[in-house]
């Protein structure tokens, strides 16, 4: 009997899934590294092959319809299977050469990672390191990065994680700033001239609100979604902010305050996909990161 199913085009399915996830052809194009017209053609071709409209088009906007929603789960499953095949094949590569991507927060990438990258380049000159600076958790199962430096233990069974150290965090301000507003002995000594810098997630506010003499949201004069921006503002004397001790120790113009009252211990995890542990270049970079992060910057 002749197979009556249509020939399947994976590029069309990828374009459809990316459009469904981002909500636009332009977003899908950026995600896939294609042009917007190419993505639009792929989606139109898939709709034509299936004989179904998958998105409702209202002006320049797209809205996935019931037909598209019914298809999404199946295409996601195919994408996961394709990713797994790619990961399994990559895990067999024994050449210490080629690309390896490492993701961490923007502050870590800017201030802590460069000397480690220097050692990697010296040890393995044929490895091309891609740094993925992001304060969002990258999905290692979808190859958004090969190795991640995180402060939360991953829970997915496909991921391999190693706790490399526990970092300490304190409240810091520029010495020039503290000369003006004073150096509080307790959190109750903080006066009306003292301001705070925080992250847009509200984690710092939550941490300080838990202390005796709670700090209110009104005391946060500046918030940012970038650790680099916050730290540069601290160095310029614009307020106090919570930062990792390792980073602050590299910044002579700042000093800690209220260390007995405002402190946190944060685990540092090194994470990769379980399938990639056997890839020679990823394992080599993972091992260097592990050694350097365990030792800490003061021991380099």
Segment 283-299 mean pLDDT: 86
Pick from 26-35, 197-206, 229-238, 288-297: least confident:
197-206
Q: What are 154-213's pLDDT values in tens digits?
A: 888 888 899 999 999 999 999 999 999 999 888 778 878 888 998 887 777 777 766 655
Quick one: pLDDT at residue 19? Answer: 87
Q: Which residues contact 176 (CB under 8 A, 6 or more apart)?
A: 237, 253
Domain 10-90 indexed as CATH 1.10.10.10: yes
Ramachandran sector of residue 257 (left: φ over 0; alpha: ψ -120 to 50; beta: rest): beta
Q: Is the pLDDT of residue 261 over 60?
A: yes
Structure tokens at 117: 């990258």
Distance, in Å, from the CA atom of 74 to the CA atom of 24, rounded to the nearest integer, reads 20
Q: Flag whether the pTM goes above 0.85.
A: no
Q: Which of 137-151, 204-218, 277-291 has the highest mean pLDDT?
A: 277-291
Cβ–Cβ under 8 Å, residues 25 and 35: no
Check whether 298 has a pLDDT greater than 70.
no
Same fold, 10-90 and 167-266: no
Q: Which of 5-19, 163-177, 266-280 has the lowest mean pLDDT?
A: 5-19
pLDDT in tens, 55-102: 888 776 788 888 888 888 888 877 776 666 665 555 555 577 888 999
For the domain bounded by 98-161+270-299, which CATH number is listed? 3.40.190.10
Q: What is the CATH number of domain 167-266?
A: 3.40.190.290
Question: Which residue is listed with tokens 């910057």?
Answer: 297
Task: Please check whether residue 276 is in contact with residue 91, taking contact to mean a CB–CB distance below 8 angstroms.
Answer: yes
What integer pLDDT is reported at residue 79 of this predicted model? 74
Q: How far apart are CA 107 and CA 134, in angstroms?
A: 9
* pLDDT above 50 for 1: no
Residue ranges per structural domain of the chain:
10-90, 98-161+270-299, 167-266
Which pLDDT value is given to residue 31? 82
Mean model confidence pLDDT for the chain: 83
Contact (CB, 8 A) for 88 and 272: no
Percent of the chain with pLDDT over 90: 34
């Amino acid at each position: 009997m002749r197979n009556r199913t249509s020939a399947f085009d994976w590029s069309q399915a990828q374009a459809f899934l990316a459009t469904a996830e981002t909500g636009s052809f332009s977003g899908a194009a950026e995600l896939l590294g294609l042009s917007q017209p190419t993505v639009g053609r792929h989606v139109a071709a898939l709709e034509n092959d299936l004989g179904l409209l998958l998105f409702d088009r209202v002006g320049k906007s797209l809205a996935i319809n019931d037909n598209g929603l019914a298809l999404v789960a199946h295409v996601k499953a195919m994408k996961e299977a394709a990713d797994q095949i790619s990961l399994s094949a990559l895990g067999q590569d024994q050449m210490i050469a080629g690309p390896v991507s490492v993701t961490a927060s923007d502050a870590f990438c800017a201030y802590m990672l460069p000397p480690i990258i220097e050692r990697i380049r010296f040890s393995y000159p044929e490895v091309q390191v891609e740094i993925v600076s992001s304060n969002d958790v990258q999905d290692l199962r979808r190859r958004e990065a090969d190795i991640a430096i995180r402060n939360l233990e991953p829970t997915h069974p496909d991921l391999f994680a190693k706790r490399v150290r526990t970092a300490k965090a304190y409240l810091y301000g520029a010495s020039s700033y503290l000369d003006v507003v004073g150096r509080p002995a307790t959190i109750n000594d903080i006066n009306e001239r003292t301001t705070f810098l925080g992250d847009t997630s509200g984690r710092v506010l939550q941490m300080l609100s838990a202390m005796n003499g709670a700090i209110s949201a009104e005391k946060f004069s500046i918030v940012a979604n970038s650790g680099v921006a916050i730290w540069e503002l601290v160095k310029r004397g614009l307020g106090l902010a919570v930062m990792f001790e390792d980073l602050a120790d590299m910044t002579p113009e700042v000093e800690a305050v209220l260390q007995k009252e405002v402190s946190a211990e944060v685990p540092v995890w090194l994470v990769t996909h379980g399938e990639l542990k056997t890839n020679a270049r990823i394992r080599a970079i993972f091992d260097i990161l592990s050694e350097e992060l365990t030792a800490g910057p003061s021991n380099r």
